[in-house]
Structure 1
């Protein structure tokens, strides 16, 4: 019998879970709980309390939950997410959840349960230190980006991957919510009243919008590598010892700096909010210093690992032989990273979807201060991205805007 798409019930999720080999004992009394906190999917946590075994089932919805059926979405994003996770696990083993099954008809991905981890955004709000994160995420970024680029794979095979990961509907969300709506009085914007003056100044800032237009053009046209596409701290499960990147349903072929910038921009959003999350001035200074050290280390380790892959595994003769090309490429990638980080910060302050780092601040004065600091850092990163020579450019901007 042919399966047709339908949103699953918790009982149906249990029945499917029983068919996944090697996870649950036969006859186990399985429990199901729908835990999705996003807008685009159902997420079922299936457990066997007796054995402690568990898994996650993620089903794409044909619409955004927050809006309803008036905002239709493609179910093909479930295929894109599943195939991305499988490929990422080959390229960067252990840094994404294992996929047990993908069901195209149900737009369903069955995968490893990461309940032993926490969402990184929450961990940063709790001022937890993650000493291995820079190493882990730089490995993930270097390997997934280099090995899906023209530098690291056969260029004809790469073109076939570009075709497989065409993702127009979710890219359109990014194009509008990150690169367009924040720079005009769009209906999608969610502008906190106390900072409307700062937002209106951005709408009138022609120099800033010129830089955003350049970055947007790269997002639209530069099919450099297979991106995660939405690599914020809410898309990372973490412990002090382990990092797992999740939710690559926005994956597509785009500019490498967009993924790296997403990580850095979200760390800086947390930096801006630390007056609330840190217990006192000394704790705030310590944690902010740690965040800046982490950002510097992410880029430094990424660059080292990316250059090593280039020197050892490049399939592009000319790119490897041309004097100075690698240095030029890495400098341009750094500049892209900085610009995209700024764009990510700006849209999270007053665009459609904010971040809990800032919005969960209870004191209105402290929250406004965090919002203004995030905008100051973000716009400075955008304005100055093409002048950057080293990652120290980011650190200097942050220290200038406020510590």
Structure 2
């Protein structure tokens, strides 16, 4: 079947999504296709096309030209769809089992046609519901090490790394991160969103000059350090998982930035779960935090020793310096994530879904205190054990 791609952007319907799927994916000749829109995010439509005879499914994701949470008054670049498809393909070169297969992409329609992952569950939803994903920390630690090492100056010729940095320039979506993660929550702005019971805690953050200085330093790192090709939004809602499988999705915020950012965002979103759990359930999450870092550090170190092109690769202490910086940065970025998801514009269901108001406010207050502690004490964090000690102190 010949598909005529429009020369201008046009939103898909269920019928045009089916026609598109037929053109780019090999279904059985007798396939009977149906389609439904299943997206629940703020920036995209997600169409699931299924052959009712065989159960075969594919996903077509189409970027919206605006953010649903705000509406057409907040326009968004459609180039992010191309960024997403290309990040998945690039990261898939290093961890093919940990990202969905991309079958096709089109920049004009802002679409990505990819593997259906509906046999898995979104990690955030599963964690909230008490599910355990035993491979989560192992797989994400490996994902982080492989993708960040192989797209950095440690694993790439400088010409290729700089070429990729240009290809993955993503200024519009980076600006969203700059504002929502590093700026707005730390000032009294209308974009912030929180319960009245958190007013005094929010005001304390806005008055805290020491905290603001450290956040400014972290923002500078995000703005200026082009270390590796990041996912850019690696939270538990961007991961599909089961007891045996993990897949990372939605890298539309991908760009070249500091390695610790991806690490920190993932750890920060696990920390939400550690705050809301008690006893053995909390220990399971804490173990995931610890293991994520341990797997990342071990895998990154092995890659450094066997594949690094860095001239100072064998210089005693340099690898340790690099890993120490990643952990320090990750702690700070995790702290920013905790604060912004609590009083900023976009929240997390881990906290907002708690019906009991007293518990919810208590957990959100802990999130703010934990975030502040991680930011201010990050330079004293020399190991993942030190980070966990901070979590333990706040959780008392």
The answer as to 2:158 corresponding to 1:165 is: no
Which residue of 217, 221, 224 corresponds with 1:218? Answer: 221
Does residue 273 of structure 2 align to residue 261 of structure 1?
Answer: no
Q: Does residue 247 of the first structure (1) align with residue 250 of the second (2)? A: yes
Structure 2 partner of 1:304 = 298
Show the counterpart of 1:383: 376
> Does 2:78 align with 1:85?
no
Which of 387, 393, 396 aligns to 1:400? It is 393
Cα offset for 1:71? Answer: 1.4
Q: Pick one of 331, 345, 348 that aligns with 2:341.
A: 348
- The structural deviation recorded for 1:65 is 2.2
Answer yes or no: is 1:18 the counterpart of 2:22.
yes
Aligned equivalents of 1:21 and 1:194: distance in 2? Answer: 52
1:277 aligns with none
CA deviation map 1:102-144 (0-9, x unaligned): 1122111000000000011001101111111111001100000
Flag the 1:317–1:286 CA change in 2: closer, same or farther, 3 A: same
Aligned residue pairs, count: 392
Partner of 1:278: none
Q: Secondary structure at the match of 1:317?
A: coil
Q: Describe how 1:69-218 pairs up with structure 2 within 5 A.
A: 69-218=72-221
State the distance in 2 between where 1:203 and 1:308 align: 42
- For residues 129 and 299 of structure 1, what CA distance do their matches in structure 2 show? 18
Instruction: Indicate which of 351, 355, 362 corresponds to 1:362.
Output: 355
Gaps of 5+ in 1: 275-283
Deviation at 1:323, TM superposition (A): 2.5
Q: State the SS of the aligned residue for 1:247.
A: coil
Match of residue 41 from structure 2: 38
- Partner residue of 1:339 out of 332, 347, 357: 332
Query: What TM-score, normalized to structure 2?
Result: 0.97
Distance 1:199 1:400 in 2: 21
Query: Could you list the per-position Cα deviations for residues 268-327 of structure 1 after superposition, in whole angstroms to 9, with x for gaps in the alignment?
Result: 1122223xxxxxxxxx31011111111111101110000100000001112x03321111
SS in 1 for 2:205: helix
What SS does the corresponding residue of 2:388 show, helix, strand or coil?
A: helix
Task: Specify which of 282, 285, 296 is matched with residue 279 of structure 2.
Answer: 285
Q: How far apart are residue 93 of structure 1 and its match?
A: 1.4
Aligned-partner Cα distance in 2 for 1:21–1:202:
51
Q: What stretches of structure 1 move > 4 A for 4+ residues in a row?
A: none
* 1:228 alignment partner, one of 222, 227, 231: 231
Distance of 2:5 and 2:340 partners within structure 1: 43
Query: Within 2, Cα distance between the matches of 1:27 and 1:10?
Result: 19
Provide Cα deviations, 1:12-64, integer angstroms capped at 9, x if missing partner: 00111112333x21132211101111121111011112101001000111111
Query: Using the alignment, how far apart are the partners of 1:387 and 1:401 within structure 2?
Result: 16
The Cα shift of 1:358 comes to 0.5
How far 1:2 moved relative to its partner? Answer: 5.8
TM-score, length-scaled by structure 1: 0.95
Residues in 2 aligned to 1:145 and 1:232: alpha-carbon distance in whole angstroms: 16
Call closer, same or farther: CA 1:28–1:151 in 2, change over 3 Å: same
How far apart, in 2, do the equivalents of 1:301 and 1:112 lie?
Answer: 27
2:10 maps to what in 1?
Answer: 6
Matched with 1:67 is: 70
- Can you list the C-alpha shifts for 1:333-371, whole angstroms capped at 9, x where unaligned? 110011111111110001000101110000100101110
Q: Secondary structure at the match of 1:101?
A: strand
Specify the SS of the correspondent of 1:100: strand
